[in-house]
Amino acid sequence: MYQSLESIILDIPTIRPHKMSVATMQKQTLVLVKITTHDGIVGWGEATTIGGLSYGEESPESIKTNLDTYFAPLLTGLKGEPNIAQTMQMIDKHIMGNRFAKCAVQTALFDILGKKLNLPVSELLGGRLRDELPVLWVLASGDTEKDIAEAKKMIEVKRHNFFKLKIGSRSVEEDVEHVVAIKKALGKEVSIRVDVNRAWSEMQCIKGIQALQDGGIDLIEQPCAIHDVELLARLTERFDVAIMADEAVMCPTNAYKLAKNHCANVFAVKIEQAGGLMEACQIATIAKVAGIDLYGGTMLEGAVGTIASAHAFSTFDNLAYGTELFAPLLLTEEILSKPLVYENFTLKVPTGAGLGIDLNENKIDNLRRA
Ligand code: MUC
Ligand code: MG
């Protein structure tokens, strides 16, 4: 039923350097997956990471190698007409880990099924509860005045009205000063969150979170190491400001352990970290029954991963902290024939079949890594 699986690496410069505690990005490297069926239906998926190997355990190059060497023969060698769950179960039997690559393949299979049935992916996942998602902007130039000007412009043009700041690469004092100055300049009405990307020790967490809480910050994302879930639990217990687990959430099994041990007030759900769209929805259910709020996260994917995430997040009952599905706007090149619709502080979830997007394959050919 599947004739081919092709993986494509694209390097696209960002509109400005994007500074995080784990890496400074001048470009983003997208890994796209194109699956073609014997009857000519094409499905797309994406397996993109951040800063080579500095964020996760899969790099763009390892993802491509594993897709080409291991996933492609399994998929094209399938007999009969297995459904998506059966296909992913077969892949799981033969391939350990590789959640980003698995997510890309699963996304492409959903895109194909949606095109066959003339239904959006959101409906195949159970059905959307909203047609648009609130989207924040990440202020990560590293310069306080530039960040304030960027935020004011975003509010003025009605693109984003809440913001996340990437911190953790400077001293706690410098970071707090930077964040609180931005909060003061933007005012009470504008929600400001921070992402420490696991940079702080316990003492730095206590000092930093207390000062950020006092400064009116709304959410503290992944302040400490991934493995230190006991510290996450202590911080959640100690502070009033919401503590969010991001890198620590990963797959449904981890999400369950975090929920059981009261390690966070909020989960950042990422389809790639989860290992797929179905797994992201399972994490949302775990959060719901545990009374944990949700936030729609990103691995700074391009249009394909972003819109796949949007379909999944549109099915979430309680998306209390909105989403960060802004990354296509951070890139200097458009790979769709019609760009995604960002308006009125939201991203519209497409209503067309499958992912509901149309890729510009000429553009992709021009951008692909040789
Ligand atoms: C992360 O850790 O949240 C999401 C937005 C951003 O700027 O970085 C990513 C990763
Ligand atoms: Mg994060």
Count CB neighbours of 283 within 10 A: 31
Question: For ligand 1, is residue 297 a contact (CB within 6 Å)?
Answer: yes
Examine the domain organization and report whether 252 and 335 are in the same domain: yes
Q: Is there a catalytic annotation at residue 158? A: no
pLDDT tens track for 213-260: 999 999 999 999 999 999 999 999 999 999 999 999 999 999 999 999
Ligand 1 nearest atom to the CA of residue 268, by list position:
3
Q: What is the CATH number of the domain that holds 80?
A: 3.30.390.10
Entry pTM: 0.98
Same domain, 116 and 142: no
Find, among 357, 262, 268, the residue nearest to 316 by Cα.
Answer: 268
pLDDT tens per residue, range 21-48: 899 999 999 999 999 999 999 999 999 9
Of 109, 142, 176, 130, which Cα lies nearest the Cα of 325? 130
- Span from the CA of 197 to the centroid of ligand 2 (angstroms): 6
| The total number of structural domains that make up the chain | 2
**Which pLDDT band holds residue 187 (cuts at 50, 70, 90)?**
very high
Q: Are residues 133 and 227 in the same domain?
A: yes
Q: Do 313 and 165 share a domain, yes or no? A: yes
169, 139 in Cβ contact below 8 A? no
Is ligand 1 within 6 A of the CB of residue 323?
A: no
In the block, which residue shows the tokens 């239904």? 119
What domain range is 41 assigned to? 2-120+360-367
To test the pocket of ligand 1, the residue of 14, 19, 20 to mutate (highest count of ligand atoms within 8 Å of its CB) is: 20
Do residues 95 and 7 both lie within one domain? Answer: yes
- pLDDT category at 265 given cuts 50, 70, 90 is very high
Residue 193 maps to a domain = yes
Classify residue 354: in a domain, yes or no.
no
Does the beta carbon of 58 lie inside 6 Å of ligand 1? no
> Are the C-beta atoms of residues 252 and 223 closer than 8 Å to each other?
no
Give bridge partners of residue 294 from the DSSP assignment.
267
3-state SS, residue 149: helix
Which residues touch 344 (CB under 8 Å, ≥6 apart)?
Answer: 132, 158
Do 275 and 199 lie in one domain? The reply is yes
Shared-domain flag, residues 234 and 85: no
What sign has the CA pseudo-torsion 21, 22, 28, 30? negative
**Are 61 and 199 within one domain?**
no
pLDDT at 17: 92
Q: Which of 164, 166, 183, 270 is catalytic?
A: 166
What pLDDT sits at residue 142? Answer: 83
Give yes or no for residue 166 CB within 6 A of ligand 1: yes
Q: Are 29 and 4 in contact (CB under 8 A)?
A: no
173: domain CATH number? Answer: 3.20.20.120
Indicate whether 353 belongs to any domain. Answer: no
